[in-house]
Structure 1
Amino acid sequence: MKEILFISCKKRVPSSFKTLFKKVSFERLNRIQDSLVIVDYHCLSKYPQFKVNNYPGKVFLLYIDKNNRKPLKCMNKWGFFDYIREEESYYEVLIKIRKANDFMKLKKENKKLKEYIDSLRIEDIQLHCFNWQYFVENIASLIEEVKKRDSSLSLVIFDIDYFRQINETYGWEFANYIIKKVVNIVRNLISPQDKIVRYREDSFVILSPFRSLEEAKKIAERLKQRISQCEFKYKNLSTHIGVSLGIVNTEKDNLHNYREIIIALEEALKNSKLEGGNRITLYRDLLKKTKSPQEKIPDVEKKITDVESLRRRIRYLNREVNQNLLDTVYGFAKAIEIQDLSTAHHVEYVARIAKKIAQELGLSPQQVNDVYHAAILHDLGKIGISPKILLKRGKLNKEEEEVIKTHPWIGAEILREIHALRGAIPAILYHHERWDGTGYPLGLKGEEIPLSARIVALADVYAALTSKRPYRKAFSKKKAIQIIKEKKGKYFDPKIVDIFLKMIKE
């Protein structure tokens, strides 16, 4: 039990309670932290301004003499927890003090709980940074504070480039790992006065009160450099990322409120994105740009007379762009075949089998196309593997096997920023996973493996078994089918094996 304080107008503490109480004055009360305080009723007339609520963290008991006939009225008037009569015995007083002490403990626990709940309201628990609610609640006061001190508030907004593709390609676990690592990089770059605020899923704002525009620019440049140089490794996956950044300063950009700041941040970030990402835009540079009042309309636009013709034009241009991208990437796939003549025509054979299985499964035309593209490009990552390993005769050693295992994510990395091939990437990344969970790169099991990857996996193995390789002769069709049957439910999805076997017979 903590020391109990006693405030009295008399010169002494009641003799029966000397061992319990320590006499103090009202003036000293504010200097003493959480404690149990007993106040003599006769002191209250000298301190009419006294209120229990003015002393948070303390619990008060009222000490009254035997002539006081209205203890409850007095207690409620000033907000005391309980009262102690002069004639009460030592043990009666002790019981009341213990109750008050328990109440004080409960009060402390409630205070801690309230602080924790308040922190949940403004904190991103996963990343241990502030959320947008914190920004909304504090931006106005921050602006006022920097104005009073004749300074300015700088803000740096940054967004992970192509984050949606990373999420869709590698899954939410890898995506969350990247976000956490990025926040840690930022945390190590900034000072305690700067605050990290999560704006959207992969967008953040650094609040830097009392920092100039030049100082904010240096932070942004260091951040961009650190993230560009960092390799993000998770299990057997690895990638590099970039960030787009925008910088605003309340003084230089003449910003006065929440709305103006948000618009400026969004405009600066959008410009960095439009210019290709992985770059920094100062909002003040955008303000300097002057647009011509009458911009010339291209001839193509003049020919567009209605919404439908515009749609047709967009579809045509989109097909042209996608086809050019596909032609380029398929060219890389062919380059791998030329590098390894033993696999010539392998990808076409894999693609035909995979496409047929996808059709037999009743997949949509778009899903069938995704499977077909994935089958064509499933070994694209081997372009990053040394020919000495690819063309080696005989068994690979452990180190060489680990190098070969990197080709799925190399392929996924090459393709992940190509919108037209986004649906094919899961199969490219996971076509070496096995139904029983013994595959790579993540050791996915059963239906955790994307359906397209399960299809390409079987097609790839069958085509490989029936092809000649540097280290072995081609298996017969009968032997290859026997191996596929043996691996049903181990390496391959049983349902896909059944469809494949039915298809082969036909």
Structure 2
Amino acid sequence: MAKNTQRTLKIIMDNVAIGVSLVNPKMQIIWVNKTFKRWFPNIDVGKKPLCYRSFYSPPKKEVYEYCPTVKAFATGRTHSSETGVCRNKKIYNITAVPIKNKSGKIAYVVETVEDITQIKRKDSILMEEQIKYRTLVEQSLQGIIVAYGPLPRIVFANSAMEKILGYTPKELLSFSSTEIRRLIHPKDRRVFFKRFREYLQRRISPFHYEVRGIKKDGEIVWVDASLARITYQGRSAVQVTFIDITERKRIQDQLQQLNRELEKRNRELAQVVLKDYLTGAYNYRYLEEVVDREFYRSKRNHHPFSLIMLDIDYFKSINETYGQKFGDLILKQVADCLRKIVRKYDVVVRFAGEEFVVVSLSADRAMATSLALRILDNFRLFNFGDRKNSIKLKLSIAVVSYPEDAVVRGSDLISLAEKVLSKAKEDGGDRVYSSLNLKGKKEFFYEEALEGKEAREISLLKEKIRKLTKEANQSLIEAVFAFARTIKLKDSYTGEHVESTVYYATEIARHLGLSPQEVEQVRQAAILHDLGKVGISEKILLKNSRFTRKELNQIRKHPQIAIDIIRPIHSLHDIIPYILYHHERWDGKGYPTGLKGEEIPLGARIIAVADVYQALISNRPYRKAYPKKKAIQIIKKGRGTQFDPRVVDAFLEILHKEDR
């Protein structure tokens, strides 16, 4: 039975894949199985070779301390150890198991020898790869951590992480899962770690995620976090790579801000291109676009569409009288006034100069005419200007409508409106006309077709109307001049003063070579230059002491009062600047606007000299008249400061001729 058991064990031992040997206390090999013999064919068991001399080439001379067989004999316990590279170029793992006899002494040690050459090679390769990996990771400018598990737990961090988040690798390795979560900004934390868990569960593919991190000092830093599955130290892990993109985000934010500002500027520019810079109303370019668009829309949908074109009557005289700055103020106020009067969906356009257009959508001729009349009535009620100067405005308005005005294009509607407006101005302005008023032209053709008595009657009627109009205008002018002369009843000085001023002003104008028409304008302006004193209190005009500042300010309003009186008379518009500016000075220190030198109209400069001279030689309530010689000295002293030198020279020549 024992022999059978031994035989069975021997068969088993010879067929196992590991080498087995039996070593006695003298370290002699006394038995080996077939696997051991195959690995080390040079071992002759019959000669009982020493085990430590059998594995290596050249043979070892003595036993090494780490030999597991020696330790098994010495301790009575099982020991294991790896060999170096043996004579057959392989590496083995030897496990030594002590075998005791009946008396308890160790009689033998069974050595089991396992070939681990391939394992060691793989470990070596893996170690080399890990060394390379660590070297690359440590030298990387990107922050890298390796983590196990969904919680997670950091098992590796490179030095770049300290630059990004401020924590050393040692600090990061000691972090709990809670502390790791706090590395991510609260607003990004939930989403980031949800994606992290989904990636571990292979529910999503590798991804990049821009997330805000929180540095050790509390500063917020933007990072691009990318995840990748790796095997680290034999375990499945996740490598998280962090790239600091704070500067990039800052630049992106700046670019986005710049783009928003650029878009805003582009929108503003588009508005600027289509809007009038002065009034804020749309300009002619926009009018062309909107008229064409609305014309074809009206044509397609069979809806009415109207334009109301209006022009400020006598606007040129406003500019000449008060200056361009005041004129610009009036244009702004007109645009604001129009926007308040028209409907919300009507469009106000500054057409050109003092002309405006109201684009009235879905309005037929009757509706547009009603709106135009409302505009006219409102403008008659409003006062325009500023605290210093307040004026009334009159408008000429044209109304054109589609489809009642049969035009082919939207631009034709604008052209028709201009014709209607021109007709309204020709007929005196301050009125609303439509294209129906142009039919008067058709009556002229009808008149040509008439014969005999009817044709003569129409011609006589036209001529009579023309004469009546002329006579009415002339009567109005004469009434104003007559009114100016009645000021003598209020202030005898003013009445006598005006007559003398008219004489000298007219003579100076002739002496300077002005045309007969210009001389007449100077004469008329000289007659009316003190017309505004009708609005000054008699107590001030007849005061026999020096004026107070308040009284002086009242006196200085008389040029403005004068032109407000005569402005409605169109034929007197040319002399308005002469009246308004006859108290300006050559050096710019006069009133009402401080004009200087040639800026002052010549007619006003002429009246200024004649006016002052006549005042000097006249008795005033507060002083006696100067002698003529003294008055001339004062005029000469003012040459080049108060007065135009050329006008003064002409005036002195006139006085010299009178003395001869």
TM-score, L = length of structure 2: 0.55
Whether 2:599 is the aligned partner of 1:478: answer: no
1:275 CA displacement:
3.7
Q: Distance in 1 between matches of 2:383 and 2:363?
A: 30
Pick from 601, 607, 611 the counterpart of residue 456 of structure 1: 607
Q: Distance in 1 between matches of 2:204 and 2:286?
A: 51
Whether 2:337 is the aligned partner of 1:337: answer: no
* Match of residue 143 from structure 1: 295
Moved more, 283-292 or 424-433: 283-292
Q: Distance in 1 between matches of 2:320 and 2:259?
A: 48
Q: Distance in 2 between matches of 1:280 and 1:219?
A: 10
* Match of residue 293 from structure 1: 446
Whether 2:337 is the aligned partner of 1:179: answer: no
1:333 CA displacement:
3.1
* Match of residue 408 from structure 1: 559
Q: Note the alpha carbon deviations across 1:110-139, whole angstroms, 9 max, x for none.
A: 433433333232111111110111011122
Q: How does 1:68-107 map to 2 (within 5 A)?
A: 90-91=242-243, 104-107=256-259
Q: Distance in 1 between matches of 2:489 and 2:294?
A: 63
Are the equivalent residues in 2 in contact too, given 1:466–1:477 (CA < 8 A)?
A: yes
Pick from 643, 655, 659 the counterpart of residue 492 of structure 1: 643
Q: Distance in 2 between matches of 1:419 and 1:159?
A: 15
* Match of residue 17 from structure 1: 209
1:298 CA displacement:
5.6
Amino acid at match of 1:182: V
Amino acid at match of 1:464: A
Amino acid at match of 1:17: Y
Whether 2:417 is the aligned partner of 1:225: answer: no
Q: 1:420 to 1:246 in 2, by over 3 A?
A: closer
Are the equivalent residues in 2 in contact too, given 1:343–1:469 (CA < 8 A)?
A: no
Show structure 2 runs of 5+ residues with no match. Answer: 1-187, 189-201, 214-223, 229-238, 461-466
1:375 CA displacement:
1.9
Q: Note the alpha carbon deviations across 1:331-361, whole angstroms, 9 max, x for none.
A: 3333333543334443332123223334454
Show structure 1 runs of 5+ residues with no match. Answer: 4-9, 22-37, 39-62, 66-86, 303-315
Q: 1:370 to 1:300 in 2, by over 3 A?
A: farther
1:188 CA displacement:
1.8
Are the equivalent residues in 2 in contact too, given 1:351–1:372 (CA < 8 A)?
A: yes
* Match of residue 52 from structure 1: none
Q: Note the alpha carbon deviations across 1:167-192, whole angstroms, 9 max, x for none.
A: 23332222212111111111222343
Are the equivalent residues in 2 in contact too, given 1:247–1:265 (CA < 8 A)?
A: yes
Q: Note the alpha carbon deviations across 1:90-120, whole angstroms, 9 max, x for none.
A: 5487777666665555544443343333323
Q: Distance in 1 between matches of 2:370 and 2:457?
A: 43
RMSD: 4.3
Q: 1:368 to 1:400 in 2, by over 3 A?
A: same
Whether 2:411 is the aligned partner of 1:259: answer: yes
Pick from 121, 134, 137 the counterpart of residue 273 of structure 2: 121
Q: How does 1:231-310 map to 2 (within 5 A)?
A: 231-234=383-386, 236-255=388-407, 257-283=409-435, 291=443, 293-295=446-448
Pick from 434, 456, 467 the counterpart of residue 585 of structure 2: 434
1:434 CA displacement:
2.9
Q: Note the alpha carbon deviations across 1:23-71, whole angstroms, 9 max, x for none.
A: xxxxxxxxxxxxxxx9xxxxxxxxxxxxxxxxxxxxxxxx9x9xxxxxx
Whether 2:540 is the aligned partner of 1:348: answer: no
1:418 CA displacement:
4.8
3-state SS, counterpart of residue 272 of structure 1: helix
Q: Note the alpha carbon deviations across 1:300-341, whole angstroms, 9 max, x for none.
A: 989xxxxxxxxxxxxx99999997776554333333335433
Q: Distance in 1 between matches of 2:458 and 2:302?
A: 53
Q: Distance in 1 between matches of 2:596 and 2:260?
A: 49
Pick from 289, 306, 314 the counterpart of residue 154 of structure 1: 306
Amino acid at match of 2:446: P
Q: 1:318 to 1:217 in 2, by over 3 A?
A: closer
3-state SS, counterpart of residue 486 of structure 2: helix
Are the equivalent residues in 1 in contact too, given 2:447–2:458 (CA < 8 A)?
A: no
Amino acid at match of 1:427: Y
Q: 1:458 to 1:136 in 2, by over 3 A?
A: same
Q: How does 1:31-110 map to 2 (within 5 A)?
A: 90-91=242-243, 104-110=256-262
By relative contact order (CA 8 Å, sep 6+), the higher-ranking structure is 1
Moved more, 443-452 or 396-405: 396-405
**Structure richer in strand, relative to its length:** 2
3-state SS, counterpart of residue 193 of structure 1: coil
Amino acid at match of 1:346: H
Q: 1:11 to 1:193 in 2, by over 3 A?
A: farther
Q: Distance in 1 between matches of 2:603 and 2:627?
A: 26
Moved more, 449-458 or 131-140: 449-458
1:209 CA displacement:
1.5
Moved more, 390-399 or 112-121: 390-399
Are the equivalent residues in 1 in contact too, given 2:281–2:350 (CA < 8 A)?
A: yes
Q: Distance in 1 between matches of 2:608 and 2:626?
A: 18
